[in-house]
Amino acid sequence: MSVISVGQAVVLGAVEGVTEFLPVSSTGHLKIVEGLMGIPVDDHAVVGFSAVIQVGAIAAVLVYFFKDIVRILSAWVRGLRDREERYHHDYKFAWWVIYATIPIVAVGLAAKPLIQGPLASLWVVAGSLIAGSGVMWAADQLGRHKRGEDDTSFKDAMLVGSSQILALLFPGFSRSGATMSTALILDLDRVAATRLSFFLGIPALTGAGLYELKDALGTGVGAAPLAAGTLVSFVVAYASIAWLLKFVAKHSFNAFVIYRIVVGVLLFGLLGAGVIHS
């Protein structure tokens, strides 16, 4: 019998879709909702389910940025055959995304017992939500927002890509929040920071989902809940991406900072009162 029902999977898929690319921590929100529904947040099958439904959100990125992705991949393939094409920014950017994914893959494999064990605690999520809010606020205030997407460099990609490790080790910190904050500190504007976060998330999140698929299916989550959660995640994430890009073009990240602090404090209160368990 599946540890997650189809109805619960639909709810979790919607949560994943809304929060995956907003800088509020999808992992943190999933664990909070799982806790409220009485689902064990540190169960290996549940952790695997959370990783798998991320593929739905990543599929939304692939569809939304299809033209950009085709352009970048085409430049990469041309560059493999033609030396002259290797000076093109898109060719370089494709390699940067590959290189920038290596640190999070290495840490993810090495620290898997911790990630699926002690670090899966809701106490960690609550603390990370609040700590990440401080980082995001400081980055938004200190960043000069003067560099666009075409100004990104290998250094930018590596630093932003490596920052994903914070969210991997501290669920609640937010992968999007970590990458966007790092990009802002590097003086990228908010739209460029957001788009870079999207592109860097594609290989990392897709790889995590495929890696966890076998464990999720083999340890207590049925195919139907996985399919339902992934589909809902895709639909909701697509709408979330479109909204976020419009929002960051005209607004700061302060609304997300305030929201994260409120959720973090509320979660501490619920844990302390015993309403939900870590």
- Considering only CA atoms, which of 19, 52, 53 is closest in space to residue 171? 19
pLDDT the model gives residue 88: 92
Distance separating alpha carbons of residues 22 and 177, to the nearest angstrom: 8
Residue 109 contacts by C-beta under 8 Å, 6 or more apart in sequence? none
- The answer to whether 43 and 3 are in contact (CB under 8 A) is yes
CA–chain centroid gap for 118, Å, is 20
Encode pLDDT of 169-206 as tens digits.
998 898 999 999 999 999 999 999 999 999 998 888 88
Q: With H, G, I as helix, E, B as strand and everything else as coil, classify residue 51.
A: helix
- Sign for the pseudo-dihedral over CA of 160, 22, 59, 228: positive
41 residue type, one letter: V
Q: Is 12 helix (H, G, I), strand (E, B) or coil?
A: helix
Identify the band that residue 216 occupies on the pLDDT scale cut at 50, 70 and 90: low
Question: What is the rounded distance in angstroms from the CA atom of residue 240 to the CA atom of residue 269?
Answer: 29
CA angle 259, 263, 264 (to 5 degrees): 115
pLDDT tens, 25-74?
Answer: 887 888 889 888 888 777 777 877 888 888 898 899 999 999 999 999 99
CA nearest to 42, candidates 142, 117, 132, 93: 117
pLDDT at 112: 85
Tell me the average pLDDT of the chain: 90
- Band the pLDDT of 215: cuts 50, 70, 90: low
Over the stretch 195-205, which tens digit does the pLDDT of each residue have? 999 999 888 88
For residue range 251-265, what is the model confidence (pLDDT) as tens digits?
Answer: 999 999 999 999 999
pLDDT digits (tens, 9 = 90+) for 92-145: 999 999 999 999 999 988 988 888 788 888 899 899 999 999 999 999 999 989
